[in-house]
Chain A
Amino acid sequence: MSEPILSVRDLTVEFVTRRGILRALDGISFDIKRGEVLGVVGESGAGKSVTGSAIIGLIDRPGRIAGGQVILGGERIDNLSQDAMRKVRGRRIGMIFQDPLTSLNPLYRVGDQLIETIQTHTDLSASAARDRAIQLLTEVGIPAPERRIDGYPHEFSGGMRQRVVIALALCAEPELIIADEPTTALDVSVQAQIIALIKRLCAERGTAVMLVTHDMGVIAETADRVAVMYAGRIAEIGPVRDVIKNARHPYAKGLMGAIPSLESHAERLVQIPGSMPRLSSIPQGCAFNPRCNAVFDRCRVERPNLIQVEGTGMVSHSVACHLYDKTGVEAAA
């Protein structure tokens, strides 16, 4: 099982606008293996959601995938036709969006939406599909599913609706689930239930999950590995414990210090000066250089690539920062 389920190579997404071409994603590469949860964090505009949309082929015009490859289970999917992609979506990649109210159709009963999805992707008969739907609702923890299956989305609370959306994503037993801010619209006590659910299902079925969120707390608890994004690039990627406890990239370091924690005793939070650059004016060299406290000449000229700092293969910890480029230092010396 060393073959990753999802492999993204040098993915670049561009938006063509009147004011020129904006590069929302700039050469992103990562892998997710079976049963693994990859957390993707970053601030608004870092490109987290675009990454998810690009993988499932839902980039709207004027956006387009300008380069790179998306490989799902050994097969390229970024260059498939619309029809072929529609078969991949839902069947092989499940999706969970932020707002459960807008991802369910308010005019159809929850059961009908589940049954329709099941029948689209499998050969089950109507009654078998209904049984399967009830079974899925049980699995995601909805009480009295035999009765609730005939309810409309507005009759469910926010947390229950998100459970239905998860059931919907699981219909065709996908290999990969992309969850875009699945708990952001929910209260903390419900959020914890949803996180636990996603974790359990993924462990039981061996589904790979890409969890996009801006909440480091959620990542800390759910993810196996985490990728920190900044201005359309991956700044740091590695096992969740290493990245949180021992972040290397100055941006990731600042980000971890900026988050108030229940167990820290700092009087002041770490402050990163300034804010994320607009896509139209990403600085030359390292995109973070104007805000970085360890900036040196090379950062202003040359864009850093991911450098492995620890571990190997899937557990490696990599950082895109010139500070960790040993070869560069030796070459200069």
Chain B
Amino acid sequence: MASPALEADHLTKRFGDFVAVDDVSFDVHPGEVFGLLGSNGAGKSTVIRLFCGLLAPTSGSGRVLGIDIAKDPEGVRRRIGYMTQRFSLYDELTVRQNLNFFGGVYGLRGRAKTERLAWAIQMADLGGKEDLVTRSLPGGWKQRLALACSLLHAPRLVFLDEPTGGVDPISRRRFWGLIDSLSGEGVTIIVTTHYLDEAERCDRIALLDTGKLVALGSVAELKEVFAGRAVLEVICPRYLEAQERLEKEDWVHEVSLFGDRLHVVVDDAEEGRRRILALLESDGNTPATAERIVPSLEDVFIHSIEAQGGKA
């Protein structure tokens, strides 16, 4: 296999006593769509900021496209694209002025600049909108313009930090279409998100929790965590009481709460279903359903984080 597009090797970042990134190691393959997942404060953005050279690692090392992030942050920056959730654009400038500015800042000029700008407008589907003031654009357009600005210098690797935050579902889907086509052109994409449906679209994902890497692999691989076990979705009137009750049983591996539903992990689906019904019926808390479901990534994450917590 080709050398990795990005490598994290025992990467650690401390802010005083706070460990934002704790001994994280992983590789990203060229052309891969790699998802960094985790809740707020899990360390996703810090990892990206380390790789963009905005922060220096406390210990460990990282390489982007073969360049060491601590030794040559400028060399890294020249070769990467970076887009944040905040769509860092100049609101009072027009679409074209924004593209022109970022093109200039990336050192483009002459024909190359004209060509890249035309490519960007076409890619982001902003044809005919060039002279609109950015402030007046809907969120989805701003998002595509921000992506276009970060791709003007044709980087081989792009960091997208929560790129779909605050954007409507249709624009999100459209944006992921763009990500897929970029990946098809061989661009490596590292994306953070907290939307699980987006995570399912990544080739591989890394799950971070309080700065630690708790799971790494393809979506299918991670789902195999549940191999040989079944996840049952239980809907019953007093779900909090039921959760407490089920957690005490040794034949129940895990109980997690999704809104007003319980996901219960057991060894055997039929056996588990029978036992759950019997147990909750005796409490007068008869479930409306206790059905086997296909585990979602969310089940995987909760499982991974709890397993990690159990070890510590």
Q: Do A and B bind each other?
A: no
> Which B residues are closer than 8 A to A by beta carbons?
none
> Which A residues are closer than 8 A to B by beta carbons?
none
